[in-house]
Protein backbone atom coordinates (compact mmCIF):
# COMPACT_ATOMS: atom_id res chain seq x y z
CA UNK A 1 0.00 0.00 0.00
CA UNK A 2 1.56 3.32 -1.07
CA UNK A 3 1.00 6.22 1.32
CA UNK A 4 -0.25 9.36 -0.36
CA UNK A 5 2.31 12.18 -0.36
CA UNK A 6 1.61 15.88 -0.76
CA UNK A 7 4.91 17.68 -1.26
CA UNK A 8 5.42 21.45 -1.18
CA UNK A 9 8.11 22.93 -3.40
CA UNK A 10 8.51 26.51 -2.24
CA UNK A 11 11.16 27.12 -4.91
CA UNK A 12 13.06 30.42 -4.42
CA UNK A 13 10.30 31.91 -2.27
CA UNK A 14 10.13 32.82 1.43
CA UNK A 15 12.77 34.45 3.60
CA UNK A 16 13.60 32.45 6.74
CA UNK A 17 11.13 34.62 8.67
CA UNK A 18 8.39 34.04 6.07
CA UNK A 19 9.16 30.32 6.10
CA UNK A 20 8.75 30.33 9.87
CA UNK A 21 5.38 32.08 9.57
CA UNK A 22 4.16 29.69 6.89
CA UNK A 23 5.14 26.63 8.94
CA UNK A 24 3.50 28.04 12.05
CA UNK A 25 0.27 28.48 10.04
CA UNK A 26 0.49 24.98 8.56
CA UNK A 27 1.32 22.89 11.63
CA UNK A 28 -1.84 23.38 13.73
CA UNK A 29 -4.04 23.09 10.63
CA UNK A 30 -2.36 19.84 9.50
CA UNK A 31 -2.50 18.29 12.95
CA UNK A 32 -4.80 15.27 13.04
CA UNK A 33 -5.01 14.72 9.26
CA UNK A 34 -4.19 11.07 8.67
CA UNK A 35 -3.19 8.95 5.71
CA UNK A 36 -1.01 11.58 4.00
CA UNK A 37 2.72 12.17 4.25
CA UNK A 38 3.29 15.93 4.05
CA UNK A 39 6.68 17.04 2.75
CA UNK A 40 7.96 20.62 2.88
CA UNK A 41 10.85 21.65 0.64
CA UNK A 42 11.91 25.18 1.67
CA UNK A 43 14.91 27.07 0.28
CA UNK A 44 18.22 25.79 1.72
CA UNK A 45 18.63 28.80 3.99
CA UNK A 46 15.42 27.90 5.86
CA UNK A 47 16.22 24.20 6.26
CA UNK A 48 17.46 24.54 9.84
CA UNK A 49 14.61 26.71 11.09
CA UNK A 50 11.96 24.54 9.43
CA UNK A 51 13.53 21.33 10.75
CA UNK A 52 13.38 22.74 14.30
CA UNK A 53 9.74 23.81 13.90
CA UNK A 54 8.49 20.48 12.53
CA UNK A 55 10.55 18.15 14.71
CA UNK A 56 7.60 17.02 16.88
CA UNK A 57 5.13 16.77 14.02
CA UNK A 58 4.75 14.11 11.35
CA UNK A 59 5.69 16.61 8.65
CA UNK A 60 8.77 15.67 6.61
CA UNK A 61 11.53 17.91 5.35
CA UNK A 62 13.08 17.91 1.92
CA UNK A 63 15.76 19.91 0.11
CA UNK A 64 15.13 21.31 -3.37
CA UNK A 65 18.48 20.13 -4.70
CA UNK A 66 21.87 18.81 -3.65
CA UNK A 67 25.34 18.46 -5.13
CA UNK A 68 26.87 15.02 -5.63
CA UNK A 69 30.14 15.47 -3.70
CA UNK A 70 30.30 15.32 0.11
CA UNK A 71 32.55 18.35 0.58
CA UNK A 72 35.30 20.39 -1.05
CA UNK A 73 35.92 23.35 -3.31
CA UNK A 74 32.43 23.66 -4.80
CA UNK A 75 31.49 27.25 -4.00
CA UNK A 76 27.81 27.79 -3.46
CA UNK A 77 26.83 24.13 -3.38
CA UNK A 78 25.19 22.12 -0.57
CA UNK A 79 26.10 18.47 -0.10
CA UNK A 80 23.96 15.48 0.83
CA UNK A 81 26.21 14.99 3.87
CA UNK A 82 25.07 18.44 5.10
CA UNK A 83 21.40 17.63 4.56
CA UNK A 84 21.49 14.12 6.03
CA UNK A 85 19.92 13.87 9.44
CA UNK A 86 17.87 17.03 8.86
CA UNK A 87 16.08 16.18 5.60
CA UNK A 88 14.44 12.91 4.68
CA UNK A 89 13.96 13.74 0.99
CA UNK A 90 15.60 15.73 -1.79
CA UNK A 91 14.03 16.91 -5.06
CA UNK A 92 16.26 15.97 -7.98
CA UNK A 93 15.96 16.68 -11.68
CA UNK A 94 13.26 19.33 -11.36
CA UNK A 95 12.58 20.77 -14.82
CA UNK A 96 13.74 24.19 -13.60
CA UNK A 97 17.10 22.63 -12.64
CA UNK A 98 17.25 20.85 -15.99
CA UNK A 99 16.13 23.82 -18.08
CA UNK A 100 17.68 26.80 -16.29
CA UNK A 101 20.80 25.20 -14.82
CA UNK A 102 21.69 22.62 -17.46
CA UNK A 103 21.26 19.48 -15.37
CA UNK A 104 21.43 16.39 -17.54
CA UNK A 105 20.15 12.93 -16.71
CA UNK A 106 23.79 11.99 -16.03
CA UNK A 107 24.14 14.73 -13.39
CA UNK A 108 20.79 13.75 -11.88
CA UNK A 109 22.04 10.15 -11.76
CA UNK A 110 25.16 11.18 -9.80
CA UNK A 111 22.99 13.18 -7.42
CA UNK A 112 20.61 10.26 -6.84
CA UNK A 113 23.55 8.00 -5.99
CA UNK A 114 24.99 10.63 -3.62
CA UNK A 115 21.61 11.14 -1.93
CA UNK A 116 21.12 7.39 -1.48
CA UNK A 117 24.55 7.12 0.14
CA UNK A 118 23.33 9.54 2.83
CA UNK A 119 19.88 7.97 3.27
CA UNK A 120 18.13 10.88 1.59
CA UNK A 121 15.15 9.66 -0.43
CA UNK A 122 15.23 11.17 -3.92
CA UNK A 123 12.09 12.69 -5.40
CA UNK A 124 13.06 12.25 -9.03
CA UNK A 125 11.23 14.74 -11.26
CA UNK A 126 10.58 13.89 -14.90
CA UNK A 127 8.48 15.66 -17.49
CA UNK A 128 8.14 16.35 -21.17
CA UNK A 129 8.01 19.69 -22.96
CA UNK A 130 4.93 20.85 -24.85
CA UNK A 131 6.80 20.29 -28.09
CA UNK A 132 7.58 16.68 -27.17
CA UNK A 133 4.02 16.17 -26.02
CA UNK A 134 2.57 17.55 -29.25
CA UNK A 135 4.94 15.42 -31.32
CA UNK A 136 3.90 12.22 -29.50
CA UNK A 137 7.33 11.78 -27.91
CA UNK A 138 6.18 11.80 -24.25
CA UNK A 139 6.78 8.09 -23.65
CA UNK A 140 10.27 8.16 -25.21
CA UNK A 141 11.34 11.31 -23.34
CA UNK A 142 10.08 10.11 -19.96
CA UNK A 143 11.47 6.62 -20.49
CA UNK A 144 14.93 8.03 -21.26
CA UNK A 145 14.78 10.36 -18.24
CA UNK A 146 13.91 7.47 -15.94
CA UNK A 147 16.37 4.95 -17.38
CA UNK A 148 19.33 7.35 -17.53
CA UNK A 149 18.66 9.00 -14.16
CA UNK A 150 18.33 5.61 -12.46
CA UNK A 151 21.21 3.83 -14.19
CA UNK A 152 23.23 1.76 -11.73
CA UNK A 153 20.76 2.33 -8.85
CA UNK A 154 20.12 -0.90 -6.96
CA UNK A 155 16.72 -2.15 -5.90
CA UNK A 156 17.73 -1.50 -2.28
CA UNK A 157 18.66 2.09 -3.15
CA UNK A 158 15.39 2.51 -5.06
CA UNK A 159 13.33 1.52 -2.03
CA UNK A 160 12.86 5.10 -0.83
CA UNK A 161 12.54 6.56 -4.31
CA UNK A 162 9.62 8.83 -5.16
CA UNK A 163 9.01 9.89 -8.77
CA UNK A 164 7.21 13.12 -9.68
CA UNK A 165 5.68 13.33 -13.15
CA UNK A 166 5.64 17.02 -13.98
CA UNK A 167 4.80 17.90 -17.58
CA UNK A 168 6.80 21.07 -18.20
CA UNK A 169 3.86 22.71 -19.95
CA UNK A 170 1.80 22.38 -16.75
CA UNK A 171 4.31 23.85 -14.28
CA UNK A 172 3.39 27.31 -13.09
CA UNK A 173 1.11 27.84 -16.10
CA UNK A 174 -2.29 27.21 -14.53
CA UNK A 175 -2.76 24.57 -17.24
CA UNK A 176 -2.81 21.27 -15.32
CA UNK A 177 -2.93 17.95 -17.12
CA UNK A 178 -6.24 16.09 -16.81
CA UNK A 179 -6.42 13.49 -14.03
CA UNK A 180 -7.19 10.64 -16.42
CA UNK A 181 -4.40 11.67 -18.80
CA UNK A 182 -1.87 11.93 -15.96
CA UNK A 183 -3.00 8.54 -14.66
CA UNK A 184 -2.24 6.89 -18.03
CA UNK A 185 1.21 8.51 -18.21
CA UNK A 186 2.02 7.58 -14.62
CA UNK A 187 0.92 3.98 -15.29
CA UNK A 188 3.40 3.98 -18.17
CA UNK A 189 6.14 5.28 -15.84
CA UNK A 190 5.36 2.46 -13.41
CA UNK A 191 5.76 -0.12 -16.18
CA UNK A 192 9.09 1.48 -17.08
CA UNK A 193 10.18 1.20 -13.44
CA UNK A 194 9.21 -2.49 -13.51
CA UNK A 195 11.55 -2.93 -16.47
CA UNK A 196 14.39 -1.09 -14.73
CA UNK A 197 13.93 -2.80 -11.34
CA UNK A 198 11.18 -5.40 -10.90
CA UNK A 199 7.39 -5.54 -10.50
CA UNK A 200 7.48 -5.42 -6.70
CA UNK A 201 9.73 -2.36 -6.63
CA UNK A 202 7.63 -0.60 -9.27
CA UNK A 203 4.48 -1.34 -7.28
CA UNK A 204 6.03 0.16 -4.14
CA UNK A 205 7.44 3.40 -5.62
CA UNK A 206 5.19 6.42 -5.15
CA UNK A 207 4.60 8.45 -8.30
CA UNK A 208 3.25 11.96 -7.82
CA UNK A 209 1.67 14.36 -10.28
CA UNK A 210 2.98 17.93 -10.45
CA UNK A 211 2.00 20.94 -12.54
CA UNK A 212 -0.56 23.57 -11.47
CA UNK A 213 -2.05 21.25 -8.85
CA UNK A 214 -4.26 23.26 -6.52
CA UNK A 215 -7.19 23.11 -4.14
CA UNK A 216 -9.68 22.86 -7.00
CA UNK A 217 -8.11 19.93 -8.88
CA UNK A 218 -6.17 17.88 -6.29
CA UNK A 219 -8.97 15.34 -5.74
CA UNK A 220 -9.13 14.69 -9.50
CA UNK A 221 -5.47 13.61 -9.39
CA UNK A 222 -5.23 11.75 -6.10
CA UNK A 223 -8.42 9.76 -6.75
CA UNK A 224 -6.70 8.13 -9.76
CA UNK A 225 -5.36 4.63 -9.02
CA UNK A 226 -1.82 5.22 -10.30
CA UNK A 227 -1.34 8.69 -8.77
CA UNK A 228 0.07 8.65 -5.24
CA UNK A 229 -0.08 12.36 -4.47
CA UNK A 230 1.20 15.66 -5.78
CA UNK A 231 4.23 17.90 -5.92
CA UNK A 232 2.86 21.40 -5.47
CA UNK A 233 4.59 24.65 -6.34
CA UNK A 234 2.58 27.89 -6.32
CA UNK A 235 -0.38 26.62 -4.28
CA UNK A 236 1.94 25.36 -1.52
CA UNK A 237 2.80 28.96 -0.58
CA UNK A 238 -0.78 29.62 0.51
CA UNK A 239 -1.34 27.95 3.87
CA UNK A 240 -5.13 27.61 3.57
CA UNK A 241 -5.02 26.17 0.08
CA UNK A 242 -2.20 23.75 0.87
CA UNK A 243 -3.99 22.48 3.99
CA UNK A 244 -7.17 22.03 1.96
CA UNK A 245 -5.17 19.98 -0.57
CA UNK A 246 -3.79 17.74 2.18
CA UNK A 247 -7.28 17.27 3.63
CA UNK A 248 -8.75 16.39 0.24
CA UNK A 249 -5.86 13.99 -0.43
CA UNK A 250 -6.51 12.21 2.86
CA UNK A 251 -9.94 11.09 1.67
CA UNK A 252 -9.45 10.98 -2.12
CA UNK A 253 -8.53 7.29 -2.31
CA UNK A 254 -11.93 6.46 -0.80
**Side-chain-facing half-sphere of 124: CA atoms under 13 Å:** 34
Q: Is 35 in the site for ligand PEP (CB under 6 A)?
A: no
Between 145 and 212, whose beta carbon lies closer to ligand PEP?
212
Of the pair 171, 202, the CB lying nearest ligand PEP is at: 171
Closest separation in Å from C-beta 210 to ligand PEP? 4
Q: Which of 231, 245, 249, 252 binds ligand PEP (CB under 6 A)?
A: 231
Asked if residue 233 binds ligand PEP (CB under 6 A), the reply is yes
Q: Per CB under 6 A, does 62 bind ligand PEP?
A: no
Indicate whether 93 belongs to the interface with ligand PEP (CB under 6 A).
Answer: no
Residue nearest to ligand PEP (CB): 233
Minimum distance, C-beta of residue 96 to ligand PEP, in the bound complex (Å): 7
Separation of alpha carbons 185 and 168, rounded Å: 14
Burial class (CB in 10 A: 0-12, 13-18, 19+), 215: middle
Residues lying near ligand PEP in the complex (CB under 6 A)? 9, 166, 171-172, 210-213, 231-235
Amino acid sequence: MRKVMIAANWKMNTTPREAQTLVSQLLPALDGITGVEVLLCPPFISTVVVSELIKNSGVRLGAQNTYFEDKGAFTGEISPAMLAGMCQYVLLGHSERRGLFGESNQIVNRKIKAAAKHALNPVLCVGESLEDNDAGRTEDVLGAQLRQSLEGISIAEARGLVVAYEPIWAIGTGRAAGGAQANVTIGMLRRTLAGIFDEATAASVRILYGGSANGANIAEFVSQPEIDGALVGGASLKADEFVSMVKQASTAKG
